[in-house]
Each structure stands twice: as C-alpha cells, then as structure tokens.
Amino acid sequence: MNFFPNYYSIEDIFVTQEKVECKVNTKLQRMGFLDAGAEGDDLEPGRSINLPLWYIKELKVNNAYFTVSVPDIYKNVHKAVCEAETTHIELGRLHPYFYEFGRYLTPYDRNHVIGRIIFETMRQRVRHLLDISKNDGQMAKSELRLDNIETKLHEAGVRTNTQYINWLQMTGNKILISELVEEHQKKRKRDRSDDEGDSLPSSKRVTL
Amino acid sequence: MDPAIIEFIGEKCMISIIPNFSNEPLHLIYGSVGPFRAGFPVFVPLWMATHLRKQQKCRIVPPEWMDMDILEEIKEEEKRSKFFTKMPSEHYMVVAQLVMSTAPDDVPRCEELRTVIKDIFDIRESKLRTSIDAFIKGEGTYAKLDNLTLLEIHSVRPILPYSLDHIARYQRTATASQRDTSMLSASMAGSSTGPGSNSLFSQ
C-alpha cells in the first residue's frame, strides 16, 4: 500500500524494466548489437535505440553517450493537464506505472515539465480517488483508468469503506472461519468426492 | 484502525442505566461502578450497559442529545457552518449504534434518530472530503480539523496519509529537478554554450 521503492521491491523492478528511447551522441565501438537495425559493429552517433531504464538511470544525466528523449505520454498529458480535468485521463492506459516512470525520467527532462506533471496530476486526482473508493462496484470499469499506485490507494480506500459498512450493519461481529482453514476444508471435500469418483468405477469393474 | 477498535474505545463512555436488580459496587481496574439499586439510575460504561441490557437486567437511559429536536438542530448547524461543529459526544456514532442496536425499545423514535445521526455523519464526511480536496490543491502546509471524531478520521485513513506521502515524494522530485537544472545552467553559463543549453535558458 504505502510504496517506497527499494532495490527489492517488485514494482520498482517493473518500472525500471521499461524501455526508454535514447539518442546516441558519440560513436560507440562494438556496441552495434544494441541496435537491431545497425549495419556495422559500431553504434553510430545520431541513431536512436531503446535502452532499459535501469541502465540509463545509472549513467549521469549529462553523459556523453546518450541523450534520453522524453516519452510522448508526458508531453501530451501536459496539455491535457492544463486544459482538461485530470480525472478523465486514463492513466493506466497511458502507462501502468505512470507516476514512478515519470519520477525516474524527471532528471532527464530539460524543460522540467515531467516533475510538475506527475505532481499536479496526483494532486488533482486524490479527490477523485477518495470519491471512487466510496463505491466499490465500479472496479472493473476503472481498472484502466488508474495507475498502479492509484490502484493500491483505491484498494486501501475500498477496504476502509467495507469495514465501515460492515460495522454499521453489525456484520463484523461474527467470527469468520480463517481463510486457511476454509481452503483446507474445501480441499478435503474435493478429495473425498474424488475418492468416491474413483471408487465407483472400480466397484463397477469388480461387479463386471 | 478498525471500526471495531474505535467501537472498543468508544465503549468506555459512561451512560446511565436503570437496573432491575440490586448489587454491591463492582470494583473494576479503572474504578468502581455502582452500587446498583433496582429502579435507581446509575452511570456505567457503555460496554457494561449493553452487556446488562442483553441479559435483560436493565433499561438504558438514552443520553440527552439523543433527541429529535437537538439532533435536527445539530444537523442544521452542521449544514450552515463551514467548519466542523462540536458533537455532543466524541463517540456519537458508536454510542448511537450500540444503544440503538441493543436496545431499540429504550429509545423513543429510534428509527428517525438513526436516520438523522447518519445524515449528520454523512454531511460531516462529505465536508471532510471537500476540505481535504481544498487542502491538497491549495498551498497550505497544514490543516486544522477540530471536533472531528475518531470514526470520521477513520473514513479517510489510510488512503489520505498514503496519498499525501506520494504527493510529497513527487513534489520533492519536481523541486529537486528544478534546482539541479538551474544549478547546471548556472555552471554552464560561464563555459561554452552546448547544443542542449538553449532549452535550459528558455526556462
């Protein structure tokens, strides 16, 4: 729920797997294999190649080899943020890790727009998140609209709401069977029915 | 925090009951309760009241504020005011919920009261949402929310603190990038102007 990326967090790994388009600035000897369309062994300046974020982010921002070009989603969105309601953007469709990906790319954006976009977008959308967590029936519809972080926040909100509703209806007082025990019971039942299924033909065989 | 925990905390409220039995005072960890004399009202904690009521050993005297006129007034006040008004009890929802579910017969016009209290809670909740929205979009660094009860705070937790965490992180990133690039452009201004520096100065 509360997301602070570290080296081992799976979300962070997912985000840093993303490919980023980079322009090659200097001739890189024997690096041609990085570019599928390259003719020679060397990587020529001026070509653009896709490199994973985890590689790029270890290089200096103003390194001599690559210039990172900012993905389009952060350019188009900027306009949308200024002109329209942010709550109507389908963030999940743009990028499943919209915020985190943007956060990593912030230093590479020379107009420093990205930082502001992700900050403003999140700020505008929190109210919307609070509202939609009040009714949990729309989850299927909103799946594409939310970014990964927002989905987690939404889940947290829905959970709070369900707890509250349960309390209000006094249904939370019952002690429920733990999930593990329930699974075990189901499994036992299944096994038993399987046994019966097995034993039936064998008994037939005997009678035959 | 669970609503159940909030209920547990709220159950420490004192409430008046009329027992139909007589007994010595009970000595509990946090103080003594009683003595009980049949027919005479006595103040006990809410948890004990509901427990005794379930065993048909007492009648609960609803608190003073559990009255149609008073609650209607509170509701109107809540609608009028921009801020949160002071509630008659810090755990009004818990008290109402427990008293009305265990002893609906002891409260006159129980169903109507239930609706009004729920209305008040809903008004306050939507007000809370609106002020959160104003706070996040505004420039303020802190918000002061007086007279908010535990259950109302619960309704925006943990989603609100988590969202604020994220917002703060992105704000830090945004300002940090702004600072870095301005430092970069300052250092580059002295040296030769590279091909990328145009966009830096345009900011």
Question: Domain limits of chain A?
Answer: 7-69, 70-173
Which pLDDT belongs to residue A172?
A: 56
Size of interface A-B (CB pairs under 8 A): 117
Which pLDDT belongs to residue A136?
A: 64
**A146 pLDDT tier (thresholds 50, 70, 90):** confident
DSSP state of B125: H
Which pLDDT belongs to residue B77?
A: 85
Chain A neighbors of B184, CB-CB under 8 A? 62
What's the mean per-residue pLDDT of chain A?
75
Which of the residues B97, B159, B175, B193 would you substitute to probe the A interface, choosing the one with the greatest number of A C-beta atoms within 10 Å? B159
Longest Cα separation, chain B: 96
Q: Which CATH architecture has domain A70-173?
A: Up-down Bundle (1.20)
Q: Is B70 helix (H, G, I), strand (E, B) or coil?
A: helix
Q: Where are the beta strands (DSSP E) in B34-189?
A: 42-45, 58-61
A187: exposed, middle or buried (C-beta count within 10 Å: 0-12, 13-18, 19+)? exposed
Residue ranges of chain B with per-residue pLDDT less than 70: 180-203
Q: Please tell me whether the interface predicted TM-score (ipTM) of this complex is above 0.90.
A: no
| B155 token code pair | 């309704």
Partner-chain residue, chosen from B158, B184, B200, that has the shortest CB–CB distance to A156: B158
**Residues linked to residue B42 through DSSP beta bridges, in sequence order:** B17
| Chain B residues touching chain A at CB-CB below 8 Å | 2-4, 7, 97, 101, 129, 132-133, 136-137, 151, 154-160, 162-163, 165-167, 169-171, 173-178, 180-181, 184, 196, 199-200, 202-203
**A207 pLDDT tier (thresholds 50, 70, 90):** very low
**A81 pLDDT tier (thresholds 50, 70, 90):** low
CA pair distance B171, B177, nearest whole angstrom: 10
Residue A157 has pLDDT above 60, yes or no: yes
Identical fold between A7-69 and A70-173:
yes
Chain B nearest C-alpha distance from A120 (Å): 9
CA pair distance A35, B80, nearest whole angstrom: 67
| A25 token code pair | 């600035």
In b/e form, how buried is each residue of A51-63, taking b as 16+ CB within 10 angstroms? bebeebeeeebee
**Three-state helix/strand/coil letters over A6-41:** CCCCHHHHHHHHCEEEEEECCCECCCHHHCCCCCCC
Residue A106 has pLDDT above 60, yes or no: yes
Residue B97: how many CA atoms within 13 Å on its side-chain side? 22
Share of chain A above pLDDT 90, in %: 0
State which residue of chain B sits closest to A108, comparing Cα positions: B177
* Top CATH class, A7-69: mainly alpha
Partner-chain residue, chosen from A114, A119, A130, that has the shortest CB–CB distance to B159: A130
**Number of Cβ atoms within 10 Å of the Cβ of A100:** 26
The larger pLDDT score, comparing residue A7 to residue A68, is at A68
Longest Cα separation, chain A: 85
CATH number assigned to the domain with residue range B1-134+142-163, chosen from the 4 options 3.40.5.50, 3.40.50.10490, 3.40.50.1240, 3.40.640.10? 3.40.5.50
- Alpha carbon A75 to chain centroid, angstroms: 20
Rounded to an integer, the average pLDDT of A30-59 is 78
What is the pTM for the complete model shown? 0.72
